Structure 1
């Protein structure tokens, strides 16, 4: 009897991470981009935040998610990547 095994996209990868604190220590900025598997899609998550420890009203954060199918990502890399 023939056997077959299939797997969906899984795991995660940190593509970029940056953290900075001002010399006074009052403000921290953080930026990160990750890729993770979500069934038949790959999700790119982008997070950006600024924390002001003196004026909390000036603190803010944003999160964005972008999904692409695995087949579209493979095609994109083949078309735009290099060997």
Structure 2
């Protein structure tokens, strides 16, 4: 417990794991909300393909974004 208060223990990598899971679940809802807010019609197969591609890219971006921070903190732990 003393290490925690002296900042010898890093808790951010654990927090980033939970943030990633929350974001990965939230991305489909955000995409759905965006398309409902701007009242896009989802009756077209081509448009559904675009939504699917956007969803995949957003999930990949979110994963890469969180992995960047995980690698950053792992480098920090390896150097300390």
TM-score, normalisation: structure 1: 0.23
Higher strand proportion: 1
Q: Which has the higher contact order (CA 8 A, sep 6+)?
A: 2
> Taking structure 2 as the reference length, what is the TM-score of the superposition?
0.23
- Between structures 1 and 2, the one with greater helix share: 2
